[in-house]
Amino acid sequence: MNRLLIFVAVLNLMLIGCSNPDQYVISGQIENPGNIKVVSLYEGDRKLDSVYLNESQQFTFKRGTTQARLLSLEAGKKRYYLIAQPGEKLTFKADLQKEPYVYNIEGSELSNAIQEFAPIRIKRDVIQDSLQREFAKRTGSLNAEQIESLRGEYLTKFKAALQYYNQQAITFKDKYPNLAGFYAMSTLDPEVAEAEIIAYAEEIQDKFKDNGYVEQFKAETAKLKVLAIGQPAPDFEGYTPQNKLVKLSDLKGKYLLVDFWASWCAPCRQENPNIVKQYNAFKGKGFDVLGVSLDNNPGPWMRAIQDDGLEWTNISDLQAWGSTVVGLYRIKAIPTSYLLDPEGKIIAKNLRGRDLEDFLKKTLN
């Protein structure tokens, strides 16, 4: 064998035996894929790549990176989370007939750490699904008022269950101060873990830079913080049925319930009698209400105000979901409400039924 052939053979061995320190490789197999033919690779909501499964239901991703990446593989409606670092060769296997948290991965210690958190997340999902099924079963023969009361009972149970989950995520984060810990914290529900999420975003402010999932988390948390407990409520304005311009800031000086609703919203109309009751009970003790409608037709809006006896200030820009307040207050569903202190700071959110009454009694008596 001449020297040139020997050199080429040695070079090939080197290329086979050494991994590229600036890329990761994910080799995977999907069992029981059904009609699924494509696997996609994501970082946050950004799709990085997609590949077809071969005849053996296998796939491979190769991508350059200079730091650890929190990624997800999407096959059909299921997503599998993993962490890939420069130079790593990951081997992935999943069965689409099993839960998305059940999969096998080798070649990545941080991905194995994520799997360590999986039983905690599964327990949360089981509790959540169980409460939802139980709630649906019990509401079958109830009227609207009874359903609303029962909703409050189950919301309390749900929050209690998630408080345990929140603490588990924080403990896991402290154990893994890396992207595995970040993954656990990113699963928290902002409705019940607002303070924990904001505190963690501040903790990692200068960490995991140029990382898609993390940057998305930080951006969303920055928006969340604007509407967090203790923050001044963003100002906005609208017109009353008498065409008078009213600003939120005009109503400082009392405890104020800012109620986002609409005449066509059945749950809103069901909650209105409770708000009327609390308004009449506490309006002489420094409590007021501002109704902000997402209607787009003045007729039904004004009839609903009269029919439901909404004596407080009511405003709207009659733009429905196109209203500026929808984006300003990140409204995804109605009814949504914020309770403000006399200085205009947010002190509570989405208090309905008995919860609103109890909070007002505690605050104003």
Q: What is the tens place of the pLDDT at every residue in 312-350?
A: 999 999 999 999 999 999 998 899 999 999 999 999 999
Q: Quick check: 6 pLDDT over 70? A: no
Is residue 321, in this structure, part of any structural domain at all?
yes
Are residues 8 and 95 located together in one domain of the fold?
yes
Residues with Cβ within 8 Å of 311's Cβ and at least 6 positions away in sequence, in order, are 276, 279
Are residues 320 and 350 located together in one domain of the fold?
yes
Mean pLDDT (whole number) for 134-142? 80
Q: Show which of 107, 139, 158 is a domain's final residue.
A: 107
Calpha distance 79→81 (Å, rounded): 7
Selection from 117-126, 138-147, 221-230 with the highest mean pLDDT: 221-230
Are residues 289 and 347 located together in one domain of the fold?
yes
Q: Greatest CA span in the chain, whole angstroms?
A: 101
* CATH code (residue 83): 2.60.40.1120
Q: Show which of 107, 132, 148 is a domain's final residue.
A: 107
11 band by pLDDT with thresholds 50, 70 and 90: very low
Count of domains in the chain?
3
The SS3 of residue 322 is helix
* Residues paired with residue 106 on neighbouring β-strands, in sequence order: 91
21 band by pLDDT with thresholds 50, 70 and 90: confident
Is residue 315, in this structure, part of any structural domain at all?
yes
Is residue 231, in this structure, part of any structural domain at all?
no
Q: What is the pLDDT of residue 134?
A: 84
Contact in structure between 213 and 186 (CB atoms under 8 Å): yes
181 band by pLDDT with thresholds 50, 70 and 90: very high
Are residues 303 and 264 located together in one domain of the fold?
yes
Is residue 286, in this structure, part of any structural domain at all?
yes
Q: What is the pLDDT of residue 122?
A: 84
Mean pLDDT (whole number) for 102-109? 92
Are residues 255 and 355 located together in one domain of the fold?
yes
Are residues 221 and 251 located together in one domain of the fold?
no
**Phi-psi bin for 361: left (phi > 0), alpha (psi -120 to 50), beta?**
alpha
13 band by pLDDT with thresholds 50, 70 and 90: very low
Q: What is the pLDDT of residue 8?
A: 42
Q: Show which of 107, 134, 158 is a domain's final residue.
A: 107
154 band by pLDDT with thresholds 50, 70 and 90: confident
Contact in structure between 353 and 144 (CB atoms under 8 Å): no
Q: Quick check: 352 pLDDT over 70? A: yes
Whether the pTM exceeds 0.85: the reply is no
At CA 143, angle to CA 140 and CA 144, rounded to 5? 110
Q: Quick check: 177 pLDDT over 80? A: yes
Is residue 232, in this structure, part of any structural domain at all?
no
Q: Which domain holds residue 56?
A: 3-107
Are residues 345 and 279 located together in one domain of the fold?
yes
Are residues 103 and 142 located together in one domain of the fold?
no
Choice among 98-112, 132-146, 163-177 with the minimum mean pLDDT: 132-146
Are residues 139 and 27 located together in one domain of the fold?
no
Are residues 136 and 249 located together in one domain of the fold?
no
Q: What is the pLDDT of residue 102?
A: 83
